[in-house]
């Protein structure tokens, strides 16, 4: 049985090839930072997607380090572990919980390594305004020579937080730090069966955005599956899709107008502008889109509301910085588009797209 020692790969590459770049003063930079309190415990919940199944064992060995200048020293008051810290890649999804413990009045900014390559600033006992912009700048402009991802590499997607906040920060040419996004993920969704047993009606069970809710004909219990699986099971008469019960089509007329890179240049990840068009005949009152890359990246389209719908024929754009995104321009990736039509009917469909 083969074992992939991801941390060893990371450390050996990081020691040799980590370096900082200085952007022109006219460019703003941005990146993601984690915030937690001193003397507390935090959890990051992640879903690992395995596209190519095998009997290989896959190791996860997170680290919290002293600083970007000292990648050998571990701090006595800060600990991180992952459970499970190893799994066999014989299933398409594996949930992993990272637990971070801050003791002994620890306070400061520390590099945290979760998976595969690169670090993010872990801010303990401070808020974003108490940290020098120079520290953020060093994290956000550090460049890593990462091991090449392949179809055999699991993709990690953060699905929930507890006791910790994830913020996307921007630093302008005047070294002013601005919070441009706060991740509102709470605890991850319980499994469909746990939601059902807790008293949630089968038709009201919540699934991840990329999965479809079905009701099993045999016992009326809910399950969350891919759209292809839902279609197959429905054709065989084994289940009912809630989308069918609500008269929802899986191919709502939302067209992709464009996907393009936009300034500023950002070492932490590309700024991508996504433009969608309502090519249907009814107004859209809620709209989201999610790129499924090495992580999931959500475009919120927050201005689309019941009081400000996206009318038929109209287009709308949203720009997100894909922090830590990994993709190849010659490959296609799923874009999951979801929303609510006419403030009544939810819809969701997926299309494969090429990144710019």
**Any idea how long the chain is?**
356
For the stretch 102-131, pLDDT in tens is 999 999 999 999 987 788 999 999 999 999
Domains of the chain and any CATH numbers: 17-182 (no CATH), 192-245 (no CATH), 254-354 (2.60.40)
More confident: 340 or 66 = 66
Q: With 50 as the cut, is the pLDDT of residue 16 above it?
A: no
Sign of the CA dihedral 103, 160, 93, 301?
A: negative
Pairing mode of beta strands 165-171, 155-162: unpaired
Beta strands in 93-191 (DSSP E): 93-102, 108-113, 120-124, 142-143, 155-162, 165-171, 177-182
Question: Of 59-63, 119-123, 203-207, 325-329, where does mean pLDDT reach its minimum?
Answer: 325-329
For the stretch 189-223, pLDDT in tens is 778 888 888 888 888 787 765 677 888 888 888 88
pLDDT at 277: 94
pTM of the model: 0.59
């Amino acid at each position: 049985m083969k074992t992939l020692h991801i941390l060893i790969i990371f450390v050996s590459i990081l020691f040799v090839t980590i370096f900082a770049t200085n952007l022109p003063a006219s460019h703003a930079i941005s990146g993601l930072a984690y915030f937690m309190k001193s003397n507390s415990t935090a959890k990051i919940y992640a879903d690992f997607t395995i596209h190519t199944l095998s009997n290989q064992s896959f190791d996860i060995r997170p680290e919290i380090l002293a600083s970007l200048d000292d990648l050998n020293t571990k701090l006595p008051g800060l600990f991180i572990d992952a459970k499970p810290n190893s799994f066999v890649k014989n299933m398409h999804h594996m949930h992993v919980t990272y637990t971070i413990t801050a003791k002994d009045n620890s306070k400061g900014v520390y590099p945290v390594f979760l998976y595969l390559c690169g670090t993010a600033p872990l801010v303990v006992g401070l808020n974003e305004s108490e940290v020098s912009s120079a520290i953020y700048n060093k994290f956000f402009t550090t460049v890593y020579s990462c091991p090449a991802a392949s179809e055999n590499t699991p993709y990690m997607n953060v699905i929930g937080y507890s006791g910790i906040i994830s913020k996307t920060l921007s630093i302008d040419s005047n070294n002013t730090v601005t919070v441009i996004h706060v991740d509102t993920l709470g605890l991850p969704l319980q499994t469909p069966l746990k939601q059902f047993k807790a008293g949630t009606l089968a038709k009201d069970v919540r699934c991840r955005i990329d999965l479809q809710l079905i009701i099993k004909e045999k016992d009326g219990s809910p399950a969350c599956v891919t759209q292809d699986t839902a279609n197959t099971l429905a054709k065989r008469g084994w289940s009912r899709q809630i989308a069918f019960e609500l008269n929802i089509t899986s191919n709502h007329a939302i067209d992709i107008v464009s996907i393009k890179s936009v300034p500023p240049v950002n070492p932490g990840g590309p700024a991508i502008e996504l433009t969608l068009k309502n090519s249907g005949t009814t107004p859209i009152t809620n709209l989201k889109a999610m790129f499924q890359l090495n992580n999931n990246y959500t475009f919120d389209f927050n201005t689309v509301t019941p009081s400000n719908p996206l009318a038929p024929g109209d287009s709308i754009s949203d720009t997100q910085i894909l922090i830590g995104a990994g993709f190849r321009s010659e490959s296609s990736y799923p874009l999951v588009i979801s929303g609510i039509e006419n403030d009544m009917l939810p819809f969701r469909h997926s299309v494969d797209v090429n990144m710019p």
